[in-house]
């Protein structure tokens, strides 16, 4: 098996309303890449959010009493905390510098995935602007995939990734927050290993593994490579939802 990940060149700065499928197709041409069946396109969450206009100017936010209380505990801007509350189902942990929540989309993350870095809006200072996650990343991935498939005539998968921390290890890693045509998990229970033993509990988080690999190519700072072409994904493409990757609350030993 050979897995290749190639960042697309010629990607412009993404602004609200830009058609990401057209950006991807142009980037493939710029990079001299021809799509084949079962290729995958990995897209950084940040440009999806920007294209969907998920920018918020903190100057427009009025913090609630609850936000002011949490801001005092976490040493964060109360206006940012208000947005975190609006994007969350539940606040799970708070300490100076950190608020961990269950996002409305179901996964656990810091600050509801709201980002300051590489975010700029018109008519204000850079630090006044933040970026929210897409409202429905699975749907965002589906729209992009449908357009690419219609114009290329090939079957592809699309994955939207973001950087997530982990409760049990240091450092952020790429994680899938939206997919279309990608298997979120591969259930290997019942498969035989090299010794003939039948696997009992192994379920592979395939979408997250691919998201992490793509994140290595994208980088986390000023690399400017938010779209990655993937060839050689070792599992058959299929329909799925990011909900398959979310551990049910009654099986979450960290809450």
Place of tokens 């905390």: 81
SS (HEC) of 232-250: CCCCCCCCCCHHHHCCCHH
Among residues 137, 176, 136, 180, the alpha carbon closest in space to that of 155 is found at: 180
Segment 54-60 mean pLDDT: 93
Segment 107-128 mean pLDDT: 75
Lowest mean pLDDT among 70-79, 117-126, 151-160: 117-126
pLDDT at 109 over 80: yes
Domains along the chain with CATH numbers: 4-53+134-244 (3.30.1330.100), 55-131 (3.90.1660.10)
Given pLDDT bands bounded at 50, 70 and 90, which one contains residue 36? very high
pLDDT at 173 over 70: yes
What pLDDT, on a 0 to 100 scale, did the predictor assign at position 186? 83
Among residues 137, 246, 241, the alpha carbon closest in space to that of 181 is found at: 241
Of residues 78 and 1, more confidence is placed in 78
Segment 2-7 mean pLDDT: 95
pLDDT at 120 over 70: no
Given pLDDT bands bounded at 50, 70 and 90, which one contains residue 117? low
Q: What is the Cα–Cα distance from 121 to 115, expressed in whole angstroms?
A: 13
Lowest mean pLDDT among 43-57, 117-131, 136-150, 199-213: 117-131
pTM, to two decimals? 0.91
Q: What is the Cα–Cα distance from 219 to 51, expressed in whole angstroms?
A: 20
Among residues 164, 204, 202, the alpha carbon closest in space to that of 182 is found at: 204
Give the model confidence (pLDDT) of 192-232 as tens digits.
778 888 777 778 899 999 999 999 999 765 457 899 999 99
């Amino acid at each position: 098996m050979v897995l290749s990940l190639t960042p697309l060149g010629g990607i412009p700065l993404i602004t609200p309303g830009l058609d990401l499928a057209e950006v991807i197709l142009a980037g493939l041409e710029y990079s001299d890449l021809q799509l084949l069946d079962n290729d995958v396109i990995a897209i950084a969450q940040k440009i999806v959010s920007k294209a969907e206009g998920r920018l918020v100017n903190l100057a427009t936010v009025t913090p609630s009493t609850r936000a002011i209380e949490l801001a005092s505990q976490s040493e964060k801007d109360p206006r940012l905390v208000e947005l975190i509350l609006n994007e969350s189902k539940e606040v799970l942990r708070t300490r100076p510098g950190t608020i961990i929540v269950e996002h409305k989309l179901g996964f656990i993350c810091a600050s509801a995935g709201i980002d300051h870095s590489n975010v700029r809006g018109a008519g204000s200072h850079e630090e006044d602007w933040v970026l929210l996650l897409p409202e429905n990343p699975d749907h965002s991935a589906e729209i992009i995939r449908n357009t690419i498939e219609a114009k290329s005539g090939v079957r592809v998968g699309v994955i939207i990734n973001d950087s997530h921390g982990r409760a049990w290890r240091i450092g952020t890693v790429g994680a899938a927050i939206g997919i279309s045509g990608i298997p979120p998990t591969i259930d290997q229970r019942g498969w035989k290993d090299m010794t003939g033993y039948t696997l009992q509990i192994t379920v592979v988080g395939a979408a997250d593994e691919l998201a992490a690999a793509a994140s290595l190519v994208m980088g986390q700072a000023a690399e400017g490579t938010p779209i990655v072409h993937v060839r050689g994904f070792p599992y058959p493409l299929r329909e799925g939802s990011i909900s398959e990757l979310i551990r049910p609350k009654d099986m979450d030993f960290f809450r």
